[in-house]
Structure 1
Amino acid sequence: MDLTNGPEPCVVCGDAATGYHYRCMTCEGCKGFFRRTIQKNLQYHCKWNNNCAIDKTTRNQCQFCRFRKCIDVGMATDLVLNEKQRIAKRKLIEDNRERRRAETVTIKAKPDTPTSDDLTDEDQNIIDDIVIAYEQTAIKVTKTYPVPDDESVPKEKVDENSIDVWQQLAEVMTPSIVKVVEFAKRVPGFLQLNVDDQILLLKSCCMEIMCLRAACRYDPVNRTLTLQNGLLLKKNQLNHGGLGLLVEPIFDFAVGLSKLQLDQTEIALLAAVLLMQSDRTGLKEPEAVEKLQDAVLGAYKRYIAEQRPMQPVHWAKILMKVTDLRTISTRHAERVLCIKLDSPGELPPLFLEMFDEGAQKI
């Protein structure tokens, strides 16, 4: 109703209307008159010529003409509730009022009920277990040694199809692979998964977690990356050996990761997320993996909401890093497959196991 210029008139008698009743703008008097007529099935007769003028002062003089005008202006008889319908409606209203009162009492009785963004005790237990697992399986780099800046060393293009290159990489990566396996076994729920699914998840995430751990050893001040064997590298030195084949994409990833300034808990949880990917092709029981994945993601998201309330997009940026790591791993798997086709039987068994075709289709 537009009350700017006062109340609108009732379309039946011209009195001040109170709203739409039975599809027409009417006053309370005409609304009640129309309802009673229909509910009681009342019959009226005009004492005059069946054409009485109906207004505010005459509306009670001829009920027949008043009701006929109600019909003529469009009041709907089918909208008037019968006695059974009125009782049902009244009960529904009372039920809704009672439900709202009960909800109000519940809220007052439990003022500390956690919201969806609050860390639960279960979340904290998951986080604690994962952080401990990650820290206990980390490779401690106690001594570093840089690659000498010897300009006399020719910076020739590394042949990435060289078996020697991949053998060198296998030797460097072996300790890290062992640590990834140990980490996975300590993540809550992992050992309860189907054994074949455990193996598939490990194959799929191993390179991703190793890349993550290597990227965390990036020094943004000196722009150096420390490998697990203590080798201290700068990006412009990658052409000096076969390690450049593996390390260059990790270098680029590490630069972006360092800008997020993740704490140790966030890093550990990110590693667990990489492990628990329920969309890995070939899983026999993906629902079980998805259940663990949801628990880790939920705890992770709520941890970030609590620790970084002023950084609403931080969570989205972390999920993008998961995609980046999976892309790096997939590219290495494609390289291994090409070499396997060109030089069958010459690749180190470690790589044939890690980059098994079935485990790397993501």
Structure 2
Amino acid sequence: MSEEEEQLQAKGSEEEEEEGEEEDEESKICQVCGDQANGYHFNAMTCEGCKGFFRRAMKRPATFRCPFQKNCVITKNNRRQCQACRLQKCLSIGMRKEMIMSDQAVEERRWKIKRKRLMAEPMLLSTQQEKLILELSTALEQTFDRTCSSFHQFSPLDRNADSVNNQTQQSSTSNSVASEESDRNSSSEGPGSSSSSSSSSSSSVTCDTGQAPGEKKTVFTSLSHVNDLSTYMIQNVINYAKIINAFRALTIEDQISLLKGATFEIVQIRFNRLFNVKTGIWECGTLHYCMDDAFRAGFQPHLLDPLLKFHYTLRGLELHDIEYTLMETISLFSPDRPGVTNRDVISCYQENLAVTLLTYIESKRTDSEKHLLFPKIMACLTEMRTMNEEYSKQVMQIQDIQPELSPLILEVVSQDS
């Protein structure tokens, strides 16, 4: 290793000296080799070269032997000729092994310094990031029907709860969530907030075995409408993904795996834009939905309770439309979905999306707590991942009881890739 390489390696090791320490002396001399020193390292004034040498020597269980008389005079020019005497000189001037930071501590310190510098400097979106945002915003505009104006030929929404279960009772979990959020927003429950917290205490709903032979009875009264709405929104999510250049560049197999894994999450993120926290109602133009509609479609509290809480939490972040869009695209490009093969490419693009979201937040928001927004968004994404499996499970249970779900919905929740 050359002298220049040694110094470069030493400079890149870690910042273990105290930051900001200033010396008034015109010259600093390394106490080991006499070279120009730049501060105290491991309790002694040394140059970068001797600092790096001592760190490497202490971290590697190597035994050095002096080829001469064990009393070599260490200078800038010959310091690499006898490692044994150089190490002994380091120890004699008071350099201490216990002051060497672990690799993990070094990485943590580097990250803190980097983050501090980034926070000190104003963050601006790059040209590439602006193009990415434009591409995603354009794709969203073409595929997100906020008022359901293009949602035609759907089954009517039957809110007849009697045909679901005569023993329907208030779910304590949902009721507490709605009550807590209502108090938080200092407003009384709207015309649907009470029904949005109503669900069955039973884990499943079964058909009336006393019905006459051949008589068809609707068990889940809202299922036909929710089936049509879900199919419509899934089709829009698929169309959204196909507009994104990076998605189209993937293999068909990976495209299918990503869509199957993320569709539920993206639909919920899109639905959250329409959620009214004061009433607990999703307002889709002339169509309004409450959580009871999902219950009357066969979904149960194990999913509906945390899902309602999620919508209150995410809506409470008051995200910009671009932040919503980046969030759902981060969900789409998840490299750990079952069946994904080209994980490196997908991971790289997801990281680019995350950095763009962070940069957008830092550059466009001015509130004092903006630094907390990015981790809160990522926490919401993680929360949805925990509900995804339960959603698939309940969809299959509903299909077993009342088989009328569309092939597209069943394909999305199927486990094969």
> Above 0.5 in TM-score?
yes
Following the alignment from structure 1 to structure 2, what is the Cα–Cα distance between the partners of residues 150 and 284? 46
User: In the alignment, residue 325 of structure 1 is paired with which amino acid?
Assistant: M
In structure 2, the partner of 1:100 is none
User: In the alignment, residue 296 of structure 1 is paired with which amino acid?
Assistant: L
- TM-score normalised per structure 1: 0.60
Following the alignment from structure 2 to structure 1, what is the Cα–Cα distance between the partners of residues 356 and 32? 53
1:286-315 Cα distance to aligned partner (Å, 9 max, x none): 112112112211111111121235321110
Please report how far the alpha carbon of residue 86 of structure 1 lies from its aligned counterpart in structure 2 after TM superposition: 7.1
Following the alignment from structure 2 to structure 1, what is the Cα–Cα distance between the partners of residues 224 and 296? 12
In structure 1, the partner of 2:390 is 331
Q: 1:352 aligns with which of 394, 406, 410?
A: 410
Please report how far the alpha carbon of residue 149 of structure 1 lies from its aligned counterpart in structure 2 after TM superposition: 9.9
In structure 1, the partner of 2:135 is 129
Contact 1:218-1:254 at 8 Å conserved across structures: yes
1:216-272 Cα distance to aligned partner (Å, 9 max, x none): 21112333223x58432445x458722664765443221111110001110111111
1:71-114 Cα distance to aligned partner (Å, 9 max, x none): xxxxx9735236842799xxxxxxxxxxxxxxxxxxxxxxxxx9
Please report how far the alpha carbon of residue 150 of structure 1 lies from its aligned counterpart in structure 2 after TM superposition: 9.5
Following the alignment from structure 2 to structure 1, what is the Cα–Cα distance between the partners of residues 238 and 363? 30
Contact 1:123-1:299 at 8 Å conserved across structures: yes
Alignment partner of 1:202 is 2:259: yes
Q: What are the equivalent positions in structure 2 for 1:275-290 lying under 5 Å apart?
A: 275-290=332-347
Following the alignment from structure 2 to structure 1, what is the Cα–Cα distance between the partners of residues 261 and 351? 18
Contact 1:257-1:321 at 8 Å conserved across structures: yes
In structure 1, the partner of 2:372 is 313
Following the alignment from structure 1 to structure 2, what is the Cα–Cα distance between the partners of residues 346 and 337? 11
1:130-186 Cα distance to aligned partner (Å, 9 max, x none): 11211221113168xxx9999999673485567864554322211111110111112
Unmatched runs of 5 consecutive residues or more in structure 1: 1-17, 24-75, 89-113
User: In the alignment, residue 81 of structure 1 is paired with which amino acid?
Assistant: I
Secondary structure of 2:288's match? strand
Distance 1:348 1:209, change over 3 A: same
**Which range moves more in the overlay, 178-187 or 77-86?**
77-86
In structure 1, the partner of 2:73 is 80
Following the alignment from structure 2 to structure 1, what is the Cα–Cα distance between the partners of residues 308 and 76? 78
Q: 1:138 aligns with which of 138, 144, 155?
A: 144
Distance 1:83 1:271, change over 3 A: closer
Contact 2:299-2:398 at 8 Å conserved across structures: no
User: What CA RMSD, in Å, does the superposition of the two structures yield over aligned residues?
Assistant: 4.1
In structure 2, the partner of 1:293 is 350
User: In the alignment, residue 78 of structure 2 is paired with which amino acid?
Assistant: Q
Please report how far the alpha carbon of residue 285 of structure 1 lies from its aligned counterpart in structure 2 after TM superposition: 1.1
Secondary structure of 1:357's match? coil
Distance 1:196 1:229, change over 3 A: farther
Contact 2:335-2:347 at 8 Å conserved across structures: yes
Distance 1:243 1:213, change over 3 A: farther
Q: 1:231 aligns with which of 287, 310, 320?
A: 287
Q: 2:297 aligns with which of 242, 245, 252?
A: 242
In structure 1, the partner of 2:125 is 119
In structure 2, the partner of 1:191 is 248
Please report how far the alpha carbon of residue 326 of structure 1 lies from its aligned counterpart in structure 2 after TM superposition: 1.9
Larger radius of gyration: 1
Distance 1:152 1:207, change over 3 A: closer
In structure 1, the partner of 2:309 is 252
Unmatched runs of 5 consecutive residues or more in structure 2: 1-27, 34-68, 82-119, 150-156, 169-199, 208-217
Distance 1:149 1:182, change over 3 A: closer
Contact 1:167-1:348 at 8 Å conserved across structures: no
Please report how far the alpha carbon of residue 208 of structure 1 lies from its aligned counterpart in structure 2 after TM superposition: 0.9
Contact 1:187-1:272 at 8 Å conserved across structures: no
Following the alignment from structure 1 to structure 2, what is the Cα–Cα distance between the partners of residues 115 and 79? 49
Contact 1:218-1:258 at 8 Å conserved across structures: yes
Following the alignment from structure 2 to structure 1, what is the Cα–Cα distance between the partners of residues 325 and 76? 66
**Residue identity (%):** 21
Secondary structure of 1:85's match? coil
In structure 1, the partner of 2:24 is none
1:28-69 Cα distance to aligned partner (Å, 9 max, x none): xxxxxxxxxxxxxxxxxxxxxxxxxxxxxxxxxxxxxxxxxx
In structure 2, the partner of 1:58 is none
**Which range moves more in the overlay, 212-221 or 304-313?**
304-313
Aligned residues: 261
In structure 2, the partner of 1:94 is none
